[in-house]
Amino acid sequence: MELAADITPEDLKVFLQEAEEQLQLLDDDILRLEHDGASEELLQEIFRAAHTLKGSAATIGHSNMAAVGHASETLLDRLRNGDLSVNTEIVNALLHSLDTLRAFKQQLAGEVDEEPDIDAVVAELEAASGTPDDMNAGAQAGPAKLSIDHDTLTAILEAEAAGQSVYRPIVTLIDSCEWRTVRAFQIVSELSNNGDLLACSPTSSEIEADIVGVTIEAVLVSEAGQDVLEAALKAIEDVESVEFADVSSQQAPVEAAASDQSGAAPDAAVSEESHNKPQRGGQTVRIDVERFDNLANMIGELVIDRTRIAQIGRILESRYKDDDLIDSLSETSGHLTKVVSELQEDIMKARMLPVGTVFRRFTRMVRDLALSLDKRVEFVTDGEDTEIDRTVIERIYDPLVHLLRNSIDHGIESVEERRASGKPEMATLRLSAYHEQGYIAISVKDDGRGIDTKKLKEKMVAKGLETLESISRMSESEAVNLIFTPALSTAAETTEVSGRGVGMDIVRANIEAINGSITVDTALGVGTELVLRLPLTLATVNSLLVKVGKRDYALPLVYVTETVKLSHHALTTVGGRTELMTIRDQVIPLIRLHDMWPNGSGAGRAADAEFGVIVNSGDRQVMLGVDTLTEPQEIVVKSLGGFVGDVKGISGASILGDGRVVLIADVASLVNAAGRRPQREDQLQSEPQNASIDQTEADPEVFQAAA
């Protein structure tokens, strides 16, 4: 697809950004149209967005996008006028047109190579819109013959006097052409892209009214040349022939037209649309994502240097407290700290986006998937204004897609099942976001079947992943967390929708990779809720600094529950290796970080860790044994880089104020390394050691889990 010759890369970039905004707006509003029904305000908003998108496409010379937009606009106009009522056929046609427009946008962005075929979608739009009798009559009669008024003749004379070429192309469509309006729009758009369109028949208003015959005639000032124009016009489908009539000023027919009849004066087909492009407010500006990330990284470096300068200032002040320069240094350091802190805060705020930007992308997916599975699902979102770092939003999209698809495919029952169990035929799938103790929580909740832990246990034993003895000792919460076992599925059949029986382990791995966690709450026959707890930003992290041997480590505070003095509590060794500590009737395994990172402990090993840091990840809890507790501190997260690679138990690094490098512990992987969360002490003593699966509660089929 060739665009207008004067379109710059910057123009194209702006168009792609605006097109995505309009497409998302249309997606949301069309789904609202289906859910809430038609209202004058909503239809006007949809029509305006479609009109703007069509005009923007025509402005850059993308006639195919403009043609699809025009066909959508025709259907929307009939809805606005009350000629049609909203139904599934109309909504599907409009949504399919958006898919085609988005595919064109992806092609322009270089994301795909193949150009979409517009014929099928235009046919679907026209079938959904129909054609009123009066419009058919107009189309049969055809538009008025091309007329050249006084202003047009003046423009022709001026062009000829300036040595410019003036052409009068006559394009004839095949008699069987079913989409004359679309082809006329493409022809006029193509001519406009190749020059200055002075007159045309049909006019833009006639095309808008579907008053189109088999012949399109125009007057054009162009530097492209007749051969180029002819080739461009013949490339349009359904064009039978292209001829060029004599357009000399002496032979041009003139019709004097009064100035107040300007409605009949032909315009370029894109003139109105180009004036209707959304105007940017003077208070906002677009910034390239890469440039913004670089800016955020530089702010991170400033934060590190700010802390170092402050610490150096304190050291010098203690050594040379009587020196006047020290006071000046202290004052300057304090001001620098204030400015850098404010700058960091502003940059962090600028990185924050409402989580609704990702939530809105799921509405269409849920609607289409429910229809394909013949299920009735009401998709509800809450907390869309909750803000989170842009980089976190990018990382949670795929996990949320999997959780939502899994809930619809396996969690929510069919209409017949719900009716038989006394539930409403319409299921509810709720996606919520809210702040919770310094991080953001995102909940995916359905009112479907729930998770059958009996089926989970049977599957684990059948696959050799657990023994009958270990299964019998599991608490209900531990059994539910079996859904995160790699390659485990409780679905009777794996499907393309839910992911061929894998995925929940990958979901948890992706969430934990950004220092997040996931928990599951379920009730059989009632439903399931999965809650993701995520850091607000990946750029900085509030951490507890500790020492293991001679090396410093940072434990993200989002995982830390409490700290204890190990010498004040009794430890129990199980199996000669595993150490357990009992705190408030809770048995917690102890991981001595000396054993995890022996090379980082400095010369020799301390006889015993002095302190224990109790941490949680999901439903699991362990205690990390460390030598020294230093202080809580906000640190700037740095990647270890490709040369270092993945280090077990380490997620990144940072630099402290005194220049020391501190490694950031990957708490989630440390917790997973400790195995499942131990049960309460009374459970360990009272539960049978050899209970069979048959002793667990009976219930209907499982259904959601790791499929």
Q: Which residues are 359's β-sheet partners?
A: none
The catalytic position among 64, 193, 194, 406 is 406
Cα 548 to Cα 591: distance, rounded to the nearest angstrom = 12
Question: Residue length, the chain?
Answer: 707
The catalytic position among 51, 62, 402, 410 is 51
- Residue (of 192, 258, 245) closest to 222 by Cα position: 192
Cα 314 to Cα 54: distance, rounded to the nearest angstrom = 63
Cα 134 to Cα 685: distance, rounded to the nearest angstrom = 86
For 263, phi then psi, to 5°, come to: -65, -25
DSSP state of 411: I
9-36 and 88-108 helices, crossing angle to 10° = 160
The answer to whether 680 and 586 are in contact (CB under 8 A) is yes
**What Rg value do the Cα atoms of the chain yield, rounded?**
34
The answer to whether 428 and 500 are in contact (CB under 8 A) is no
Cα 465 to Cα 480: distance, rounded to the nearest angstrom = 15
- Record the tokens describing residue 161, joined without a space: 């006097």
Peptide bond into 132 cis (omega under 30): no
Helix (H) or strand (E) holding 191: helix 180-193
The answer to whether 392 and 432 are in contact (CB under 8 A) is no
Catalytic site residue 92? no
Cα 371 to Cα 364: distance, rounded to the nearest angstrom = 11
- Record the tokens describing residue 182, joined without a space: 């679309």
> 131: helix, coil or strand?
coil
- 10 Å Cβ neighbour count for 178? 13
For 298, phi then psi, to 5°, come to: -65, -35
- Residue (of 566, 561, 560, 559) closest to 582 by Cα position: 566
The catalytic position among 34, 64, 73, 512 is 73
Residue with structure tokens 């949301």?
28
- Alpha carbon separation from 500 to 372, 480, 494, 497 (Å, rounded): 18, 20, 5, 8
Catalytic site residue 406? yes
Cα 498 to Cα 706: distance, rounded to the nearest angstrom = 8
Return the active site residues. Answer: 51, 73, 406
